[in-house]
Amino acid sequence: MHDQAQFNSKNLKKTNYKNLSCPNCKSKEIIKWGKRKTENRGRVQRYRCKSCYETFILDPFYRMRDNPQKITCALDLFYRGLSTREIQEHFKAFFPHNADHSTILRWIRKFSLKIAEFTDKLKVKTGSYVEVDELEFQRRKSYKKKAGTDKNWFIDVIDVKTRFMVSSGYVKHRSKDEIKKILLKVKEKTDNVKIVTTDGLTAYENVVKKTFGYSNKEGKYKIEHRVVTASKGEGFNIWIERLHNTIRQRTKGFRGFHGSLESAFALMKGLEIYYNFIKKHEALKGKTPSDVAISGLQLKSNNRWLELIKLSTQSI
């Protein structure tokens, strides 16, 4: 039942319970402490903290009434284009107890963020050239119509060679700080980015170069910042434009965009994961961008959502 997800990576240490820390006191002194029976998933490993004697289980689905198949099915259907209400209807026909659409939305947010804890740390083998672009979003502040809307932005950084979305963020203003945070992740995850292309937004000025730093040895900044100006007929890669059109289409039905900034952030994080790890691309000969850009990560099962959730739980 509880099969260990296979994970061979040069970038990450082999998963080992000795790398775990206690959820109660953060101590690293952890020992195995028998197995525990669960209703849906057979026996799962239990651990014990030698400092505070707390026992705990690293099962992301622990105490959830619905099983992992159903939950990951919801994520998959959602990012392939169904609304949470459509998923609710679908489940009604196939599962004994129905899940409400608000529960489904909660699963999607929870597990998108959970997987991101793991995927955000993976090293990515990119080409030397990435493009940064922004999409504008109108987020309704709540379900009530009177609450008004907020103009927000989705910013993504895409490696042109592998099509991997190296970093993204759903942000309020496109401020220098917000942009820096997104670019810092690119710096952490990649080694050979040499050129960063952005549009003419002034917030990018200096921030791009400063984030990647200055090389005293070479006497210049480590990154070349290129700016494209649409009015001059310049543009981004055509497939990036196409990707953004797809994102626009897909996010029209995101009900989580009626609510907090955090909720929208989590849904867009899931979209990043779907795009990088789940969706197969014709241009990549039926592979996902992660298959191409993260050679150490070999996802083996057909249910990649579940495999990623398991990996994210084991890599704490």
Which range of residues in 6-14, 51-59, 100-108, 215-223 is near Zn ion by CB under 5 A?
Answer: 51-59
Site string for Zn ion, 54-93 (x = CB under 5 A): x---------------------------------------
Which range of residues in 22-30, 90-98, 158-166, 188-196 is near Zn ion by CB under 5 A?
Answer: 22-30
Among 201, 199, 173, 196, which residue's Cα sits nearest to residue 185?
A: 196
Minimum Å gap between C-beta 32 and Zn ion is 15
Q: Which residue in 2, 17, 18, 25 binds Zn ion (CB under 5 A)?
A: 25
Q: d(Cα 41, Cα 61) in Å, to the nearest integer?
A: 9
Minimum Å gap between C-beta 25 and Zn ion is 3
Q: Which residue in 20, 22, 99, 124 binds Zn ion (CB under 5 A)?
A: 22
Which range of residues in 21-29, 100-108, 122-130, 187-195 is near Zn ion by CB under 5 A?
Answer: 21-29
Minimum Å gap between C-beta 124 and Zn ion is 34
Q: How many residues bind Zn ion (CB under 5 A)?
A: 8
Minimum Å gap between C-beta 310 and Zn ion is 23
Q: d(Cα 28, Cα 312) in Å, to the nearest integer?
A: 18
Q: Which residue in 51, 55, 67, 237 binds Zn ion (CB under 5 A)?
A: 51
Backbone angles phi, psi at 55, to 5 degrees: -105, 150
Minimum Å gap between C-beta 91 and Zn ion is 38
Q: Which residue in 6, 8, 21, 24 binds Zn ion (CB under 5 A)?
A: 24
Q: Counting contacts by CB under 5 A, is residue 52 touching Zn ion?
A: yes
Given the complex with Zn ion, which of 25 and 184 has the nearer CB atom? 25
Q: Counting contacts by CB under 5 A, is residue 27 touching Zn ion?
A: yes
> Which residues in 202-231 contact Zn ion (CB under 5 A)?
none
- Token digits of residue 206: 């200096």
Interaction site with Zn ion (CB under 5 A): 22, 24-25, 27, 49, 51-52, 54
